[in-house]
Amino acid sequence: MKIGIVGCMGRMGQMLVSAVLADSGAQLSGGTERAESSAIGQDLGKALGQVTGLTVSADPHALFETSDAIIDFTSPAATRMHAELAAKTNTILVVGTTGLSQDDETVLMQAALTVPVVYAPNFSVGVVLLTALVERAAAALDNSYDIEIVEMHHRHKVDAPSGTALALGKAAAKGRHIALDQVWQKSRDGHTGPRRRGEIGFAALRGGDVVGDHTVIFAGDGERIEIAHKASNRMGFAAGAVRAALWSQDRLPGLYTMVDVLGL
């Protein structure tokens, strides 16, 4: 399967390049960067110490035309453009971009009418399992158990709470048959008063080079249950994204998640 990487020279982009090269079922078809990037014209594997014979391009349309699937961990604006390209070129799209708005997600859904689109805030197999466990725990525990979600990422992350934290919040809310936006509390500052019953709280920490830590706390009277996942590098995310691309081959158009990919 020919897989292309948009945003191929960033930290995640290079992990994705490495993951594609390591998978016997995949063939790296190319990669793109912004037109002003100094990486344009360089070999895709230069930062990895490998020679791929493929050079970084500034032409995403050409990459979509020559690829069976594209993996996109870029920015919301770029992902909107890539979703439209995927539909036009009949190319599978795997999206791990975080910070997407409802309008951005609508563009993905429109593309999914034409091609398979796999969209997940986190492609780690462990995080997908964590999400399933959180939903089950929230369903088993009534709202006398307060739910708090704590996440920590590196100092360069630009969105908060993380997409994974929000996905965990949605899973908890689903377990309690409520909408997350009706009960979430994304920040606390000053004299906030007592905690609302049934509230789902978020805390976002930033610092150092932390790849991604997520903990969901169910705090009751006399006991506390914590379910956590800690990522030590990004390769798990990259391998999961490649797995999603390979899984999408011969699928009908639609918007899929990692739950579909893993058969959960």
Q: Give me Rg for the CA atoms of the chain.
A: 19
Model's pTM, two decimal places?
0.79
The answer to whether residues 33 and 16 touch, using CB atoms and an 8 Å cutoff, is: no
Tokens of 82: 């890539």
Catalytic residues: 153, 157
Rounded-to-integer distance, Cα 11 and Cα 221, Å: 43
Contacts (Cβ under 8 Å, ≥6 apart) of 167: 120, 121, 122, 131
Q: What is the pLDDT of residues 207-255, one digit of tens each?
A: 999 999 999 999 999 999 999 999 988 888 999 999 999 999 999 999 9
Set out the domains of the chain in order of their start, with CATH numbers. 2-119+234-262 (3.40.50.720), 125-231 (3.30.360.10)
- Evaluate if residue 34 carries a pLDDT over 90: yes
Q: What is the pLDDT of residues 246-258, one digit of tens each?
A: 999 999 999 999 9
Burial class (CB in 10 A: 0-12, 13-18, 19+), 133: middle
Q: What is the pLDDT of residues 150-195, one digit of tens each?
A: 999 999 999 999 989 999 999 999 999 999 999 999 989 999 999 9
Element holding 213 (H helix, E strand):
strand 212-219
Contacts (Cβ under 8 Å, ≥6 apart) of 51: 43, 45
